[in-house]
Structure formats: C-alpha cells, structure tokens
Amino acid sequence: MLSVYPTNLTLTTKDMSLADPCRPGLRGFVRLTNALNAPAVFRWVPLFDEEGSTFFQIRPKSGVVDAFSQLDCEVDYDHAYGASKNGSFDLYVCALPADQSCLSEEEDLEGAWAAGEQKTSQPVERLICTAKLPTPRVSTASTRLTLGAIPLGLASSWTVSLVNTGKAVAFFRNELTASSCTRQKENSKRLLGRPDVPCCRKVTLTCWPTTGLLAVNGRNSIRVR
C-alpha cells in the first residue's frame, strides 16, 4: 500500500523565549524537522507590528531541509530603546521540484519557491517569540542639578552620572528640554543701565549623549550644556 503525505516540517517549539539580561543582544535556536522521505523548501515570513517593524530576525530566512534530516534556525532579538518584546514568524513549506535533487544556488531556491507558491498559500506553523527582560534600574547621583551663576554670553557645562544598578542592560534617551527666563514687558530690569540690553535672557539646556547603553553595573556621564 502506497501512502502519500503532503510536504511538511515540524518545529521543536512554537513559543520561544529569549532571556539573557546581561547582554544587549538575545539569541535562540529553533529546529526544523523533516520526517518525510522527500526534501522540503521552507521560508520564514515575519509578522510586522502596527508601525511596520519587527525587532526579531531569523536566519536562514529560507532554505531546504533534506529528507529525514533537521535544520537549526537562529533567532536574534535587537534589544534597543522602545523595542517591542514580542514578535512572530510564519513558516511556509513547499515541495522540492521533481527534476532537482538539491538546491545550492539562491536563484534555484527562489525558482523552486515561485513554482510552488500557489500551493502554499497558508503557513504550516507560526513561531511566537518573546524577549524576557527584567526591568532595568537607572539612577543618578542627584535628582537635582544646581547650575549656580552662569556667565553672561558664555557657554557653561556640567556633568551628571547615570548608574545602572539593575540586573539587565539598560538603554536611555534624554529628551530635549529648554528652560527660558520669562521676560516681562513692564518693569523689566536692564543691564548696567543700558535700555537695549535686558538682564533676563533665554537659557537653553542641551544634553549629550542623547541616547546610549548602560551595561549591568555600568556608569555613563551625561554632559549638560
């Protein structure tokens, strides 16, 4: 009796959790298993969020799993400021063309996929990825920065230290803020009696660097100018 089964691949897991809080990049592996006696062509298709982006990558994105063999795919998470901790990939599978026993060139792989694309309109599996990171704890030596006397017409700078006391890598971003001295139209003071030079001028504060990374127990200096 002859039994014919559709080309298919199975995953070792459908839910992958990546967790390595001491490093900025997270990495894991998922294994594709071909239990049939025919090669299978596969392709991973990422599912994007509402902003059209994803912070997970998988390699190889496409390829061939030989009969009765397995293939490990590497999943990477781009840990960055504001990065989403969830992502998904759909796995599409099609049969290897009958006139080819293997695919070694990229154009052959694309041609095989194009030939079987009409038969693989639905994904066979969905891989759900989650990055598990503890909440970072970043603090400064002081919550208030006293500027003191500022020379008129000269640039002044101060330094603030950020310290990561948590158990995970931390990303920071400094929002651009500005503080200006309100100038009153009436009863405003003048400099040295000169009517054309007001004593109260606009003061703008800038921070550098605006973004950065703090390792576990790491320290970074922020210059305020």
The pLDDT tens digits of the residues spanning 119-166 come to 556 788 999 999 887 777 888 877 777 777 777 777 778 888 888 888
Query: What share of the chain in percent tops pLDDT 90?
Result: 14
Asked whether residue 212 is assigned to any structural domain, the reply reads yes
Asked whether residue 116 is assigned to any structural domain, the reply reads yes
CATH number for the domain that contains residue 55: 2.60.40.10
- Structure-token pair, residue 124: 């066979």
Number of domains composing the chain: 2
Smallest CA-to-CA distance from 215 within 25, 81, 22 is with 22
Mean pLDDT to the nearest integer, 185-212? 58
Q: Give the bridge partners for 138, in sequence order.
A: 164
Same-domain pairing of 121 and 17: yes
Burial of 46 (0-12, 13-18, 19+ CB in 10 A): middle
Predicted confidence (pLDDT) at residue 179 exceeds the cutoff of 50 = no
User: Is the pTM value of this prediction over 0.75?
Assistant: no
User: Over the chain, what is the mean pLDDT?
Assistant: 74
Q: What range does the domain containing 56 cover?
A: 2-131
Q: What is the pLDDT of residues 76-88, one digit of tens each?
A: 988 777 788 899 9
Asked whether residue 186 is assigned to any structural domain, the reply reads no
Burial of 163 (0-12, 13-18, 19+ CB in 10 A): middle
Same-domain pairing of 124 and 51: yes
Predicted confidence (pLDDT) at residue 195 exceeds the cutoff of 70 = no
Cβ atoms within 10 Å of 148's Cβ, excluding its own: 7
